[in-house]
Structures are given as C-alpha cells and as structure tokens.
Structure 1
Amino acid sequence: MEGKMDEDRALECYDKSLELNSKKAKILLRKAKLLLRYDRHTESHELLDRALALGDSPLPNCFAYWLTVPSIMESRLAIAKWRARYQHGIETLMAMEGTLDDLKESASGSFELAYHDEDDRPLLEALSRLFRAKTPELNYTAPHIAAWQPPHNRRIRIGFCSQFLVGYTIGKLYQGLIRGLDRQHFEVVLIYPPQVKRDAVRQALSQSCDGAIELRGRQAEWQAQVAALALDALFYPDIGMSPATYFLAHARLAPVQLVSYGHPDTTGIDTLDYFLGADAPLEPQ
C-alpha cells in the first residue's frame, strides 16, 4: 500500500509539471520511465511517443522506448507482438547514431523474455551486438590474455562474479561448489559488484576463499579491477539477473569464461565460452 501511495504521489507531481508545460520532453520521459517501473506499458509508451516527437530523443531514451516488454502477457498473440516490436527496436537502435555514456540508463527488458517459452537466442545475440556497437568500452580485453599460458606449477585462479552470492537463492545454490573446489588445485576469488549487501552468507563465503573484492567506480574501472586479478577462469552464476554482470561479461577478463543457470535463459554474449550444467536434464533456452 505504501509503495502504491508513493507511486500516486510521484505521478501527481509529474502531472502538475505537465500542466504547466505539456511540451517538456524531460518531464514526459521521467513520467514514462516511472510508469515502466510499475508495468504500465501502454501509458508509458504513449508518453514516450510524445517525448520523442518533440525531437528530444537521446539514445538512452530510445532504448527505454524500444527495449521494454510487460512482465505479464495476456495471450500468446501479445507475446508475439511484443517480441516482434523488441526485434524491430534492436534494428532501429543499431541504425541510430551515437553511443551510450551511462549503461544504467539503457533499459533492455531482456529478463522477461525468458518467460515467453520461445527461442531467445537470436534476440539476445542481436541485443549483445547492439550493446557492443553502442558502448565500445564493453569490448575490453584484459592485458594478461595475450600471453596467457595454462597453469604450470601453480593453482588455477578462478573468480566467481555475482551480486547474489549472499543469503539469496544463488548464494545458497553455489556455496557448495565454491567451498568444494580443492584449494590445492584452485585459488578462488569472489567478485562482487558495488553495493551488494553484507550478510552472514557473504562473510562465510568470503572467509572460505583466497580473496574477495567489491568492484568500485564505473564500467571501465570494474574491468581493470577484475583484469588485475589475472584470472585463468571467470565464472558467472547468473547472467541476466543483474545489469552489472551482464555488461561485465562482454569483456574478455579471463581466457575461460563460464555461465550457469542462475537465470533460465541463454545470454547471447560471445565472450562466454561454456555453460556449466548438472546431471539433471535442462530444457534448452
């Protein structure tokens, strides 16, 4: 109830601002993004149409316009319609000039695609190519990659990167794997994106490993901080659950990069080399 009241108050403020200036694109965009947050897509896209028609359409706003889908669909026909719109949006954005300066502003809506019971690989591969084209800094390669040799007379250095290696499903699911790796053969480092909660699970996992770091700064700084670890392998348990790890995975930060099924979908990212599964059968996504 409190969240609904906050939503209503915020929308009232935007409405009053628009009464004073109905052609203020920035206000239209802010209200549209708030409506997106509350899954009110039809209203949001009407406002985005109005804002873009005013000519104030920097690339991040166009991402928000094209790359969102409702969390709940009323029919298979609606799913098909929104997915076609999403594909057209990727093509439209690829043809636009400009780059993304702040990835936080580029909503992608890809999380919801996993729940359509469709083949997401073509869409997600196209989405990854779009982000690479519009954010060149994603295409980073760690300095140690070029001269890397398989470990000899040393342990394999592996990093686990996720914001959910805490008291959450992912932390509970992967703590056995992390703790169980033979420390005679593996040097294990935990890598947390910024502002991850500190709880008992995180503390216990960190203490069980050879090291743990929390990334600081912006994307390029995250890449440099992981690159400084000179990893042999980098494991992402849950690509798709968080923008932070999704974008970080576009860089080549280790000679071998893996993903697993923390999120039930493919990634579409060509710098991920392997999928680590289990004996239990998994439906292809």
Structure 2
Amino acid sequence: MRNAPTRSHGRKSIAASSKPRSLMETEDRLAHAWRAVVVTLLPDAFPGVLGQSLTGKALKDGVWQLAPVDLRPFGDGKHRNVDDTPAGGGAGMVLRADVMGHAIEDALARSAPDAPLIYLSPRGKPFDQNRARDLASGPGVTLICGRFEGLDQRVIDHYDIEEISMGDYVLTGGEIAAQALLDACVRLLPGVLGNESSTEEESFSNGLLEHPQYTRPAEWQGRQIPDVLMSGHHGEIAKWRQKMSEALTKDRRPDLWDRWRKKTPR
C-alpha cells in the first residue's frame, strides 16, 4: 500500500508519515485539492511557470497543490551523493536505488491516495491529451524527475512506476517535462480556465488539430479574416472549422489523421 490513511477535516486533511515532524514541510493539506508531488534535485525550479497566469491563480486559490520533494537530503554520505557509475561500465551516472527509494517513500506519504507514480523518461509511453484528462480526473499525481543517465531499474520495477515521455528528444532533466505535464493536467481542472467549452474545441480534444483562429482587426497587413467567420452563420462557420481542422491534421499529422479516419464513420 503506497499511502497512509488520510482523514478529512473540512478543507484540510492530515496523514500519518514516518518522516520526523521537524523535516515535514509546513504546508496545509487541502482535502479536495488536486495534489502534485514532485521528486527532484531542483526543488527551486517549482512552481516556475506554473506559478504564473491561470495555473498560478488556481494554485493560490487551492484548486491544486504542489509539493516538491528535494532528492538531495536523501543522498548518501557527507556529500549527500545521489548517483553512482553505471553497473557494467559506460558514460555518465545513474540515480541510486537506495537514495531514490527513500525519497519516493517520503513523496508517497505526502501524495494523494491512489495518485499514480510516474517517472518522466524518454523511453516512456508518449503523453497525450487523453492521458492528461485521465490524470486531471483523479486525485493528483506523484512525479519523479530523472537526471544524468536515468534511474536504477530496480526502483522502477519495485514501485511499478509508470514511465511517460513528453516527446522524442532528451532533456538534461525531468523538471521541464514535469512542468509541461502538470500544466496540461491543471488547466483541465474545473474552474481553472473559466470557459470550460474552450477545452472541447482545442487541438487533440476530438482527435484533430485545431482550426485557425482570428480576431480583430478585420484586416492586417493586407490579410483579411475569412468571410465565413464574419457571416454570423454558425452552421457554416462550424463546417468551415471542421474542414480546416481536417486539412491541417492531414497535412501536418498524418498519424493523427489515419487514426481519426479509422474511428470516424463516413
């Protein structure tokens, strides 16, 4: 079992933890907030951009909570080492199983019950809008930010950690990927965007890329807003937007186009 039982007292909740009280964070636990716990070597990187704009307002309002867990204090020895050379040789360093195990146990004690445990990894399953919706509909998420050559496989196997990739490229660490994942989820939480219908019309929500958008002025640099968008004919506007979405998807993302065609009756 990953989490200790949690009792709710109004908006705040308390949970048992094996961590000494003197080392506990001083935050309040909001019982109904979507909760993100992030294991990282760079705790000062959070909330970062997540503390700005709508996600920042939602964080301030308690719609969601963020708890970075600093990996360094769990390190070994005088210098708090968190990594070591790869078994079998090779370049780089690997995050140690014992160090990460202690950090994960601490993170799980702070996490929402049943929150998935995810490692941001380039070899993971690609993250998409459907997974963002799934995570946003749950109690929260616990993320592990990788560094160096990665994480000891035994930790991944022991905790049955889900690996998620944010794209076919490699970053210096998982912090930027973690913020991208959290942004994609938090914006889907009720009340964050204000206009709930906006999430239904954007790219990937219906399997297609979003149609082009326009606003005032009606003419700019000799370019006009398409006449149909100024017609006031909502039926024709909907047809035009659908046509544009299909054309863009077919041209730019043939993988999405093929998938959408297979699912869409003709």
> So what's the TM-score if we normalise by structure 1?
0.25
Larger Rg: 2
> So what's the TM-score if we normalise by structure 2?
0.26
Higher helix share: 1
Higher strand share: 2
